[in-house]
Every structure is written in C-alpha cells, then in structure tokens.
Amino acid sequence: MSTESARTIALPSGEEIAALGQGTWYLGEDPARREQEIAALRLGLDLGMTVVDTAEMYGDGAAEELVGEALRGRREEVFLVSKVLPGHADRKGTVAACEGSLRRLRVERLDLYLLHWRGRWPLEETLAGFTDLMEAEKIRYWGVSNLDVADMAELTALPGGDAVAVDQVLYNLSRRGIEWDLLPWCREAGVPVMAYSPIEQGLLLKVEALGAVARDLGATPTQVALAWVLEQGVVAIPRSGAPDHVRENRGALDLHLPTEALDALDEAFAPPSGPTPLEML
C-alpha cells in the first residue's frame, strides 16, 4: 500500500487507525462460505484494512468466532472492535458480555468496545462496566454506536464520559442526516465517527447517478461510495465477505474525488436541509 493511500483517522488518544476497515455483519452464518470469508478478512489485513469490526449480536457470536479464526497468528496487526448489546449493558452485564466476546475471538483484549445502541440501562451503568474492563486491561478504549447528539451530550457530561473514543453510526450517500448536527458535534468534541453500511448493504450500487460518476472516474460504484465517506473524514467499515470484494474496497483508498464528482453526488444525494433523527439498520 502506498504511503499516499494509507489514510488514517486519529483517536482522541492520538493513536492512528486505518480509515478503511472491514465489517463482519452477517459473516460466519453460512458454513459453505466460511473459508472464503476467512480468506477475505486475512486479505484485508494484507491490504492494510486493519480495523476489524464485529459484535456479539452478529450471528449470536458466530461472526466473532469467525474473526477469531481469521486473526489467528495476526492479532498484533489488527485494531479489533466489538460491541455489547443494550440488554446486557448494565455494569456487570457489560463485563460479562465482553468476556464472552473475548472467548469467542480467542483474544485477551479488545482495542475498542462499543455500546451497540442505547437501551434501558442508564449510560452510567454501561460506563461503569467499561471502566471496570479498562482497569482489568480487557479493553483499550470504549465508545458507542447509534447515539445521536442529545445522547452524546448526556454521555460526555457524565464523569469519565468525555473519554468516549468513537461514535459508530449509519452513514452513506443515501443516509446523510448526521451532517446537520451529529457530525459537526463530533468534530467539535474530537470524537471520531465510524460509518457502518457505507454502501447501504449494496443498495447504493443500483443508483445510476453513482454509476455515472464511477464511469467518469474509471472506478466502480463501490469505490466511489467508499471514497466519498473517506472524504468526510469518517472511518468506513464495509462488510468484506469475498476476496474480490475486499480488493475492490481497497481501491477506494486510491480514489480522490474531484469537485465536479462531489457536486454530482450532492445533486443525486442531497445533504440534509434540517435536523434528521438518527437512522439505524
């Protein structure tokens, strides 16, 4: 990977992580695809896509088990992310859920552990669990997923809440609502944003305007959609279940969108004109 294309995003600690990573939603659920999915994840590491995102929810732990197998012997190369379900996110439950994820992943520590979305437990409870996990050196950082501006403001006002490392949210060309308030808030607060479903689970690829921009640039629609997310200073974690798709995703790092391409995308996928409730998949 060339130095120019090795894009990174800085965490609040100052540590740099890869701007283009790998998601694992729906991986590990089909035994017939297991070897291909493992090969894809390992190829992604070879190509510098070293942020690997998973969750206890994905396949009821099957994705974590797959990731654990894929990362065998390569743990030190990876910035490993997993998530606690909101129903487990009281203080003790957060610790227990993390320990379950560590067992399935076959690792001793996560780099980043996220609250998957907000549920019935107070944020104070989850934060206390994260603190316990950090003190036990079972996680390096903690963050959140699917939290909007009001939730983030509430979280960061709590004692220790300003240590939040990431907010992972749904963001792509067709889901731009966070640009109105959440993305500016996170930039001001120094909290990196991580985008899941950056190509809307493939649905974006059917939009002719995206295809037209891609043809003009000699790229694929997937690469343009990912490059657009990266242009916003946001980490993108597309699901990577086949080696050919991983190689295609990696090409987004070499693609810089000129002004005319950005203008065409804005025309086809309008930015928000007002506050928009945070969307989730």
Chain segment 136-156, per-residue pLDDT in tens = 999 999 999 999 999 999 999
- Confidence class for position 6, pLDDT limits 50, 70, 90: low
Chain segment 15-38, per-residue pLDDT in tens = 999 999 999 999 999 999 999 999
pLDDT score, position 148: 97
Q: Average pLDDT over the chain, rounded to whole?
A: 95
Pairing mode of beta strands 16-18, 8-10: antiparallel
**In the predicted structure, residue 5 carries a pLDDT above the cut 70:** no
Mean pLDDT of 172-183: 97
pLDDT score, position 217: 97
- Alpha carbons within 13 A on the beta-carbon side of 119: 15
pLDDT score, position 3: 36
Residue 165 buriedness (CB in 10 A; 0-12 / 13-18 / 19+): buried
- Confidence class for position 240, pLDDT limits 50, 70, 90: confident
Mean pLDDT of 69-94: 97
**In the predicted structure, residue 1 carries a pLDDT above the cut 60:** no
Residue 277 buriedness (CB in 10 A; 0-12 / 13-18 / 19+): exposed
Chain segment 243-267, per-residue pLDDT in tens = 999 999 999 999 999 999 999 999 9
**In the predicted structure, residue 208 carries a pLDDT above the cut 90:** yes
pLDDT score, position 67: 97
Mean pLDDT of 195-211: 93
- Confidence class for position 89, pLDDT limits 50, 70, 90: very high
Q: What share of the chain is helix, strand, coil (3-state, %, to 5)?
A: 50, 15, 35
Reduced 3-state DSSP string for 110-175: EEEEEECCCCCCCHHHHHHHHHHHHHCCCEEEEEEECCCHHHHHHHHHCCCHHHCCCEEEECECCE
- Confidence class for position 121, pLDDT limits 50, 70, 90: very high
